[in-house]
């Protein structure tokens, strides 16, 4: 996988961030160097999948990008009669995703659909993963999506929801944003790359507070939810049907 240089040179005009072929070709490097805890989220997703995958059900990865979530969940699974469904609305991502799923496909049926996750029917799911994807859905449409996910989960099913988060206290917001930028700098991104990417993501990636997520999960019908991992301004929730 090549190194992310998408924002390395000065741009006259910063266009809104898009998951196009340029981003898809460096995506693994981009997300690992940008999202603190991404690697740990994936490796622990494998443990979560072992615990919650139920025979005869589906596992959905909504906004699957290159399929890292499905690969992580499938790597040590023994559960029988499981089907994986990966959804993304970027054809550039899915083209690359297919080649990452070769091993998984020798053990489980895997279907990939290029579509908006808001149009995806969710049925008979034991696990639904939204790994850093809900943040790209318009805020007013998030409840409907989470409600459909809840309704499509089988009894005992879970949603894994990972997001960039925002803090109510402006001083904490400022400090954790600084720490996030320090993380990116430590991973080799320049100040120019950090600031151009930040502008490109403005109004595209819209983070919310932890209470806003918790309240919406309650409203969508989930019985309980808890944060199981947090790294700076990124957190992952486990929500139970």
Q: Which residue is nearest to ligand GEK (CB)?
A: 63
120 and 152 Cβ atoms separated by less than 8 Å = no
Regarding 165 and contact with ligand GEK (CB under 6 A), the answer is no
Q: How far is the CB of 127 from ligand GEK (least distance, A)?
A: 13
- Can you tell me which of 136, 167, 228, 240 binds ligand GEK, judged by CB under 6 A? 136
Regarding 193 and contact with ligand GEK (CB under 6 A), the answer is no
Measure Cα distances from 155 to 60, 73, 214, 219 in Å.
15, 20, 20, 18
Residue 50 neighbours by CB under 8 Å, 6+ apart:
76, 77, 78, 79
Q: How far is the CB of 155 from ligand GEK (least distance, A)?
A: 25
Interaction pattern, residues 39-68, with ligand GEK; x per rule: CB under 6 A:
------------------------xxx--x
Would residue 63 be called left, alpha or beta, if left means φ above 0 and alpha means ψ between -120 and 50 degrees? Answer: left
Number of shown-chain residues binding ligand GEK (CB under 6 A): 20
Supply φ then ψ for residue 111, to 5 degrees.
-120, 140
DSSP state of 63: T
Residue placing its CB nearer to ligand GEK in the complex, 15 or 171: 15
Q: How many CB atoms lie within 10 A of CB 190?
A: 12
Q: How far is the CB of 170 from ligand GEK (least distance, A)?
A: 24
- The whole-angstrom distance between residue 36's C-alpha and the CA centroid of its chain comes to 13
Binders of ligand GEK among residues 103 to 132 (CB under 6 A) are 116-118, 131-132
Regarding 87 and contact with ligand GEK (CB under 6 A), the answer is yes
Measure Cα distances from 142 to 16, 30, 218 in Å.
21, 25, 13
Q: How far is the CB of 80 from ligand GEK (least distance, A)?
A: 25
Sites of contact with ligand GEK (CB under 6 A): 19, 31, 63-65, 68-69, 87-90, 93, 116-118, 131-133, 136-137
């Amino acid at each position: 996988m090549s190194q992310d240089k998408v924002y390395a040179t000065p741009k006259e005009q910063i266009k809104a961030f898009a998951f196009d072929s340029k981003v898809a070709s460096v995506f693994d490097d981009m997300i690992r160097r940008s999202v603190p805890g991404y690697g740990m989220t994936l490796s622990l997703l494998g443990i979560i999948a072992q615990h919650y995958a139920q025979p005869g059900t589906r596992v959905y990865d909504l906004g699957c990008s290159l399929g890292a979530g499905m690969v992580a969940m499938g790597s040590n699974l023994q559960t029988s009669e499981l089907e994986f469904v990966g959804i993304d609305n970027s054809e550039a991502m899915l083209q690359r995703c297919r080649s990452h799923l070769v091993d998984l496909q020798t053990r489980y049926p895997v279907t990939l659909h290029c579509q908006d996750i808001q149009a995806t029917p969710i049925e008979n799911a034991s696990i639904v993963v939204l790994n850093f994807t809900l943040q790209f859905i318009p805020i007013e449409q998030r409840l409907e999506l989470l409600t459909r996910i809840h309704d499509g989960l089988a009894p005992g099913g879970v949603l894994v929801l990972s997001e960039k988060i925002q803090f109510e206290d402006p001083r904490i917001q400022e400090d954790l944003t600084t720490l996030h930028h320090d993380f990116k700098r430590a991973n080799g991104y320049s100040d120019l790359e950090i600031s151009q990417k930040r502008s490109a993501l403005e109004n595209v990636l819209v983070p919310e507070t932890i209470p806003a997520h918790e309240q919406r999960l309650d409203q969508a019908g989930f019985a309980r939810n808890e944060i199981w991992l947090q790294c700076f301004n990124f957190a992952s929730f486990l929500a139970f049907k």
